Structure 1
Amino acid sequence: MTALLTLLKSKDVSFEMITHPQTIRSAQEGADYFGIEIGQTAPHLVLETENGYVSAILSGDRGRLDFQAVAAILGCQEVKLASPKKVEEITGFRIGTVPLVGLSLPCLFDRSLFRYPVVYGGTGEAQSTLKIAPAAVEACNQVVGYLD
């Protein structure tokens, strides 16, 4: 988590690290725990394409990801979720803990997160959550496209 804190401080963005006694395993669990709308949670997924790996930061109320739309945005033929083993291999983090910022992957960003003043997402550790403005998440990632 030290690298995450260093990055956030270097970008001079406001954020809050929240520790909690339980592991939050889903967007719904996060929304329930923090008393927020599910759309305010921001799962960070890793996707596999024929051109390599890409991350996607989504609003928790998005539902299923349209892989054909993602492929069109990225200019590739096929997109699928990376396996849990690949996610850990590529990012160093387990699924469900992938930090909102700091990955060295191109990133797709869900514009619907801008509905909220802050969003909640991973820190790399199972029992902590990052509370941060969507614009700060956008600024701290290598955004290559947007999901509407």
Structure 2
Amino acid sequence: MTSLQELLTTKNVPFEILEHPQLIRTAQDGADYFGIELGQTAPTLVLETENGYVAAILTGDRGRLDFQSVAVTLSCQEVKLANPKQVEAITGFRIGTVPLVGLFLPCLFDRRLFRYSAIYGGTGEAGSTLKISPGAVEELNQVMAYLD
């Protein structure tokens, strides 16, 4: 059992780990592969601010992230995407596999994910996807702010 599975089992959270032979590189790839709405995909981005790093869990249909708006939400001057080396150093995971829970980073959470009973996101491994309720993801993260 992986540490993600252990965390979710210990917290008594319903979830599914969906194995897939092909790599899912984009939200659209995930929506197509699982036959779900684009908005149900939930990529986890790592953002860099002058106050440290923040995980951003977003709906796949959000489009471009408005970094100026995020900076205001987080009360900081500048927000940018962490580069791939930073993401791996901070989280232990490669871009595209960063898990929805268990990162121990403050979190920015997209409220639009609550439109769905289940969302799909990273597990930390390239060949699998986590299916879980957005409420469980919110509960298991250190949510510091929300995006509408």
What TM-score range do you get, normalising by the shorter chain?
over 0.9
- Paired with 2:17 and 2:96, the residues of 1 have a C-alpha distance of 16
SS in 1 for 2:17: strand
Q: State whether structure 2 residue 120 is matched by structure 1 residue 90.
A: no
Task: State the partner residue of 1:132.
Answer: 132
SS in 2 for 1:113: helix
- Paired with 1:38 and 1:134, the residues of 2 have a C-alpha distance of 15
Q: Percent identity?
A: 76
Question: After TM superposition, what 4+ stretches of structure 1 lie above 2 angstroms from structure 2?
Answer: none
- Paired with 2:11 and 2:107, the residues of 1 have a C-alpha distance of 17
SS in 2 for 1:54: strand
SS in 2 for 1:131: strand
- Paired with 1:17 and 1:100, the residues of 2 have a C-alpha distance of 12
Q: State whether structure 2 residue 112 is matched by structure 1 residue 112.
A: yes
Q: CA RMSD in A?
A: 0.8
The one-letter amino acid paired with 1:113 is L
- Paired with 1:11 and 1:62, the residues of 2 have a C-alpha distance of 29
1:7 CA drift (Å): 1.1
Within 5 Å, give how 1:1-148 maps onto structure 2. 2-148=2-148
- Paired with 1:126 and 1:117, the residues of 2 have a C-alpha distance of 24
Instruction: Give TM-score, length-normalised by structure 1.
Output: 0.98
- For residues 98-120 of structure 1, the C-alpha deviation after alignment (integer angstroms, 9 at most, x for no partner) is 00000010000000000000000
Instruction: Give TM-score, length-normalised by structure 2.
Output: 0.98
SS in 2 for 1:68: helix
- Paired with 1:99 and 1:138, the residues of 2 have a C-alpha distance of 13
- Paired with 2:21 and 2:64, the residues of 1 have a C-alpha distance of 29
The one-letter amino acid paired with 2:74 is L
Matched pairs, number: 148
1:139 CA drift (Å): 0.6
